[in-house]
Amino acid sequence: MKILEGKKGIIFGALDPNSIAWKVAEQCHANGATFTLTNAPIALRLGTINQLAETTNSKVIGCDVTLSADMENLLKESMEVLGGKVDFILHSVGMSLNIRKGKVYTDLDYEMMKKTFDISAMSFHRLLQTAWKMDAINDWGSVVALTYIAAQRVFPDYSEMADTKALLESFARSFGYHYGKAKKVRINTISQSPTKTTAGTGVKGFGSFFDYADAMSPLGNASAEDCANYCVSLFSDYTKMVTMQNLFHDGGFSFTGISNEVIEQMGQ
């Protein structure tokens, strides 16, 4: 059964086949959706996204998420290509300049922090506000952004991205209220397990906290493919009344205090 048959969307953030957004695009296509793909102009120059565009029969439209003009153009072109308003949007965008430059949490550069917040969190508000003003999302549409549990619990090397994700989740709640009231559009964040992607592996000590989370979670870490399936369910009509939520998709990690595997590894 194709649960997204007839639905139109926009998918941000497919950089390469490891990207969570890449898997989401493949699953949305397999489930009957049509969509446009978007990424920053610099990412498009790498060219890999064109392979995905071919296999999913989608158009690629460049958009630097920090620029309102790019966002407007993306929504306008997407509606032209898809033949009307969209039903779903995936925001799968994240980047920390301070992490990239190896700056520790107690020595952050504020200009870089502003850019990190702009790319990774304010872009979500910008997307929603632009869509709101252009009336670009159909009634009962669904918007999902990807987040991480460092918004609630401390993971020291996740640094400013933790604060960014807290802001992102707050935007989902606040805008979810307004868009829900006005258009029945639902807005949620998915809090995903550590996943081996370009953004993920850029965090110091990623390998260790990937293994730690896997050992802590009763179901093990959720893969990018599992995340894609969850996104499809949230874009479908089967989750119509779910909005303003931060949804943990982490094999049970968020509610586990300690696991037998971790106790054994500590040699007690």
Ligand X SMILES: NC(=O)c1ccc[n+]([C@@H]2O[C@H](COP(=O)([O-])OP(=O)(O)OC[C@H]3O[C@@H](n4cnc5c(N)ncnc54)[C@H](O)[C@@H]3O)[C@@H](O)[C@H]2O)c1
Positions touching ligand X (CB under 6 A) are 13, 15, 19-21, 39-40, 43, 64-66, 92-95, 119, 146-148, 192, 194-195, 197-200
Closest separation in Å from C-beta 95 to ligand X = 4
Which residue from 40, 30, 34 is spatially nearest to 225, judged by alpha carbons?
30
Rounded Cα distance, 124 and 145, in Å: 8
Pick 34 or 38: Cβ nearer ligand X = 38
Pick 34 or 120: Cβ nearer ligand X = 120
Closest separation in Å from C-beta 231 to ligand X = 11
Rounded Cα distance, 239 and 206, in Å: 32
Closest separation in Å from C-beta 24 to ligand X = 9
Q: CA 43 from chain center: how many Å?
A: 16
State which amino acid sits at residue 69. Answer: A
Residues 6+ apart with CB under 8 A from 268: none
Which residue from 180, 198, 176 is spatially nearest to 247, judged by alpha carbons?
176
Rounded Cα distance, 65 and 120, in Å: 9
Closest separation in Å from C-beta 164 to ligand X = 8
Pick 176 or 200: Cβ nearer ligand X = 200
Pick 56 or 195: Cβ nearer ligand X = 195
Closest separation in Å from C-beta 159 to ligand X = 12
Alpha helical stretches, state H, 49-141: 49-56, 68-82, 97-100, 110-117, 123-134
Pick 100 or 240: Cβ nearer ligand X = 100
- In our burial notation (b when 16+ CB lie closer than 10 A, e otherwise), range 212-239 reads bbbbbbeebbbbbebbbbbbbebbbeeb
> What are the backbone angles phi and psi of residue 228, rounded to the nearest 5°?
-60, -45
Helix (H) or strand (E) run with residue 262 in it: helix 260-265
Which residue of this chain has its Cβ atom nearest to ligand X in the complex? 200
Supply the Cα-derived Rg of the chain in whole angstroms. Answer: 18
Pick 20 or 28: Cβ nearer ligand X = 20
Pick 65 or 137: Cβ nearer ligand X = 65
State which amino acid sits at residue 117. Answer: F
Closest separation in Å from C-beta 186 to ligand X = 19
Closest separation in Å from C-beta 238 to ligand X = 23
Closest separation in Å from C-beta 7 to ligand X = 21
State which amino acid sits at residue 186. Answer: R
Pick 119 or 185: Cβ nearer ligand X = 119
